[in-house]
Amino acid sequence: MKPLFVTLCLLALVFPIAALPRITYPAMSALVPGSAELLLGKHTRGGVMLGADLVALFAWSSYKQDVKDYTNRSKRYANIYAGTGLDIPDWQYQDMQSYLSSDDFNDYQEMRARNYYLIYTYDPDGYAEYLSRNLYTDEEAWHWQSAEHQKEFRNLRRKKQRSAQYQSLALGALLLNRAISTVDALFLSKRPSSKPPAMHIGFNEDKTMMLHYTLEF
């Protein structure tokens, strides 16, 4: 749908003979920033907004792919060097960044539960329930081959998180560019203009018809 809309905008830029309803311009800028400015004769401004949108869109797409790649790489790495499955939940990967093995994690949870439920409050039932909810089973167990493998896993996860942050920034740039272009198109479409449209039909002194085209920078 969007490629078709871009094509129509480019055609309208080349052949802007017919005037469009005022509400059309903000709607165009909301979908394709700079398109309304181009139609309204503000070619430099429109070109900058359109170019910025293309750059931000490319960045968003690239970082989205990076997030996917780092996610898959970290899963495969954990599968090879820690013995996990490939479909475990994300919160388990978080624990794997902090503990060398599921046994280390379970030992720490048992210590916390024992101090609270058996020493501080003395609640054996609560102790048993906490352990059943928070310990890893044998099927969920993992064990890193070395601390260096765990460190490399952390690096992969950090790269994924960093790419996700950059992807969010690129998305913010896309939305901000659309907001600015929409407001700009709204004001431009309300502003009266004494200039003829970029392309219009006029008449020469000898009454012959001529097609005029004006390009502003």
123 assigned to some structural domain: no
* Host domain of residue 28: 2-101+142-213
Query: Residue 209's pLDDT band (boundaries 50, 70, 90)?
Result: low
135 assigned to some structural domain: no
Question: Residue 144 has which token pair?
Answer: 């890193």
Q: How far apart are CA 10 and CA 3, in angstroms?
A: 11
Return the sign of the alpha-carbon dihedral for residues 179, 182, 186, 189.
Answer: positive
Q: How many CB atoms lie within 10 A of CB 74?
A: 22
By CB neighbour count within 10 A (0-12 exposed, 13-18 middle, 19+ buried), where does 94 fall?
exposed
* pLDDT tens column, 27-80: 999 999 999 988 888 899 999 999 999 999 999 999 999 999 999 999 999 999
118 assigned to some structural domain: no
110 assigned to some structural domain: no
Q: How far apart are CA 99 and CA 46, in angstroms?
A: 53
Q: How far apart are CA 40 and CA 80, in angstroms?
A: 59
Q: How many CB atoms lie within 10 A of CB 135?
A: 16
204 assigned to some structural domain: yes
Q: Residue 6 above 60 pLDDT?
A: no
Q: Residue 199 above 80 pLDDT?
A: no
* pLDDT tens column, 180-198: 999 999 988 886 554 554 5
Counting the structural domains of the chain, the total is 1
Q: Residue 7 above 80 pLDDT?
A: no
Phi and psi at residue 209, to the nearest 5°: -85, 140
Q: Residue 168 above 80 pLDDT?
A: yes
30 assigned to some structural domain: yes
Q: Which residues in 175-186 are b (16+ Cβ under 10 Å) and which e?
A: eebbeebbebbb
94 assigned to some structural domain: yes
Q: Check residues 13 and 31 and name the one with the higher pLDDT.
A: 31
Per-residue pLDDT, 17: 41
* pLDDT tens column, 110-166: 999 999 999 999 999 999 999 999 999 999 999 999 999 999 999 999 999 999 999
